């Protein structure tokens, strides 16, 4: 289940970053770096470097939360596609009332024959 959760969370986060006109590679400092620090942070012990890395990871995690969850997406289209919240044109593509009426061709010899 961890793989399924991670895959769906990464997909949703990348889609949200694209909505903010950012590359999907921003998931690395936002989510992967805190995960790596959680796994391997004990190897540094209680040194100054461990505290500094922990602070940097906390800042990245907090900014990632703000960037992905709280800030609005870009207004209008960006390099990843159109704005999903833009109002859509709901009018029909052609006006059915002014449609041309096609008259069937008459059977018989042509006019020049």
With bands split at pLDDT 50, 70 and 90, how would you rate the model's confidence at 50?
Answer: confident
The pLDDT assigned to 63 comes to 92
Question: What do you get for the CA distance between the two ends of the chain, in Å?
Answer: 79
pTM of the model: 0.64
Long-range own/partner contacts, residues 79-82 (CB < 8 A, 24 or more apart): 79/21, 80/18, 80/19, 80/21, 81/18
Percent of the chain with pLDDT over 90: 20
Q: Which residue has the tokens 């998931």?
A: 27
The pLDDT assigned to 110 comes to 65
The pLDDT assigned to 74 comes to 86
């Amino acid at each position: 289940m961890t793989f399924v959760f991670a895959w769906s969370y990464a997909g949703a986060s990348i889609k949200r970053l694209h909505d903010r006109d950012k590359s999907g590679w921003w998931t690395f400092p936002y989510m992967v770096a805190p995960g790596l620090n959680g796994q391997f942070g004990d190897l540094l012990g209680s040194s100054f470097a461990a505290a500094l890395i922990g602070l940097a990871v906390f800042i990245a995690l907090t900014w990632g939360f703000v960037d992905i969850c709280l800030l609005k997406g870009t207004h209008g289209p960006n390099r990843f596609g159109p704005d999903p919240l833009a109002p859509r044109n709901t009018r029909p593509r052609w006006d059915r009332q002014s449609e041309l009426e096609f008259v069937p061709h008459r059977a018989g010899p042509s006019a020049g024959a």
